[in-house]
Amino acid sequence: MDERMHRPLAALDDQLRRDDLTPEQRRSLERDLRGTVAQIQAIESGKGLYEYTDEPFFPNAVVPTVHLQTLDELLERDKQRERDGFPKKVILGKIASHGGKKAVIVPTVTEEKFYHDNRPKMPGQGGDEGGSGEGEEGEVIGESPIKEEQQGGGQGAGDQDGGESHELDDSRAFEIGKALTEKFNLPNIQQKGKKAALFRYTYELTDINRKFGQFLDKKRSLKNILKTNLLLGTFDPDDVTFDRVVVSPVDLVYRIVSPEKEYESQALVFFIRDYSGSMYGDPTEVVLSQHVLIYSWLLYQYQERVEKRFILHDTEAREVDNFVSYYRLNNGGGTNIASAYKLVNKIVETEDLAKDYNIYIFQGTDGDDWDSEGKEALPEIEKMLTYVNRMGITVVSRSPGSNNTYIEKYLDKSGLLKKAPHLIKMTALSETSRNQDDLIKSIRQLVE
């Protein structure tokens, strides 16, 4: 298409791109555009209407400049919903995890509709699928351990851990923790006097110095040199030669060792989760959602200086070293809560953690315990209460608040909740609690 014909179109297009048009103006411009196109089409008969250079015909066929709503805007919208008499919709801390490498927390919204429920009706029930390949009917074609339901599918080999962290993305968690504190009025922790901010110096090659130093920063130096030479006219970007380039000592940039003040974590939080058979499915989801929010809140409270340890237990307890494992592992089997308590006490003792950290323990359970009288568990709890800042127990059950699970019963009987109300709290959640407000209410009960 030749330039001359293109000009009126370009002008129309410019007009259409303005955002201050009234709808009428826009419509009329679009009519003009269509007319012009038709005209050109008539002139250039024999050619197709659209050529690949005709982008201006489709001023709309570009990625919309999505004005993404910030978390603050979303939460403000949610508050407004409540004022308008509609339930809230944004869920803050949903965990997304793919392939088991990392987890991030993202805000989510569910668009509710009438859908058929295709989930298995009972925990542990396997869904059928299609498949292909050799084998007789009834033949087992594979298995995956119940112990550790790692990523399914056959992609295992070769996909080694590439040194990626299996962690939560702390910057997002921090943002969510901030929102929890500011928008949902979770309490601010009174900083304990006994542990002032700990820091230590490390020495790193991070400071920058001109003219001398331990380590030449080549990229930065080259940039400076080019800048200088451009000014001097001794370097022409269109005809690159280095014959006339001069190097001034001032342009050389070095890195030198400098002491860096590094803050040590102030808080240590143990997350304990029951991963026995009875926790499968919804209860686990609820506990995890709550723990992610608690972690986010602590992260904000301690300005990211939080360390975390993850304990899973059924009849035995084990520590896993990252959030993703904590999030993903499922197990079958029975339940012995004391095993987890013992492990926590052991860790605190052997690593001598109590003197350096504000220690928090949050536990998620369905309340089931083979140690139904708490004979083993209660002494361990008492030991914990000597060093924790707060221990929070969340019981997820079918009928929350009815106090009829073992752990609720023996804790009640022990009187610990009344004796040390500032150290240990318990809250109950329904196993179908997907509602953010319920979660936050329960967290408030645990941390206030």
* Residues 169-208 contacting another protein, CB under 8 A: 169, 172
Q: How far is the CB of 205 from another protein (least distance, A)?
A: 29
Name beta bridge partners: 360: 269, 390
Sites for another protein among residues 45-74 (CB under 8 A): 48-50, 52-53, 55, 58, 60-64, 66-69, 74
Which CB, 97 or 403, lies closer to another protein? Answer: 97
Q: How far is the CB of 441 from another protein (least distance, A)?
A: 18
Q: How many chain residues bind another protein (CB under 8 A)?
A: 84
Instruction: Kindly report the number of other CB atoms within 10 A of residue 116's CB atom.
Output: 5
List of residues 6+ apart from 85 with CB closer than 8 A: none
CA end-to-end distance (rounded Å), the chain: 71
Sites for another protein among residues 274-333 (CB under 8 A): 332
Element spanning 418, H or E: helix 416-419
Per the CB < 8 A criterion, the answer to whether 36 and 12 are in contact is: yes
- DSSP designation for 168: B
Q: How far is the CB of 355 from another protein (least distance, A)?
A: 37
Which CB, 23 or 415, lies closer to another protein? Answer: 23
Which CB, 140 or 231, lies closer to another protein? Answer: 140
| Sign of the CA dihedral with 317 first, then 321, 322, and 324 last | negative
- CA 43 to CA 5: how far, in whole Å? 10
Per the CB < 8 A criterion, the answer to whether 72 and 176 are in contact is: no
Per the CB < 8 A criterion, the answer to whether 203 and 258 are in contact is: yes
Sites for another protein among residues 8-37 (CB under 8 A): 23, 26
Per the CB < 8 A criterion, the answer to whether 381 and 424 are in contact is: yes
Q: How far is the CB of 271 from another protein (least distance, A)?
A: 20
Sites for another protein among residues 100-159 (CB under 8 A): 101-118, 120-122, 124-147, 149, 153-154
Instruction: Kindly report the number of other CB atoms within 10 A of residue 158's CB atom.
Output: 5
Q: How far is the CB of 276 from another protein (least distance, A)?
A: 13
Binding mask 392-431 for another protein (x = CB under 8 A): ----------------------------------------
Q: Find the binder of another protein among 33, 90, 176, 317 (CB under 8 A).
A: 90
How far is residue 156 from each of residues 79, 323, 330, measured CA to CA in Å?
45, 20, 18
List of residues 6+ apart from 275 with CB closer than 8 A: 284, 312, 313, 314, 329, 330, 331
Which CB, 80 or 206, lies closer to another protein? Answer: 80
Which CB, 345 or 432, lies closer to another protein? Answer: 432
Which CB, 31 or 218, lies closer to another protein? Answer: 31
Q: How far is the CB of 416 from another protein (least distance, A)?
A: 33
Is residue 434 within the footprint of another protein (CB under 8 A)? yes
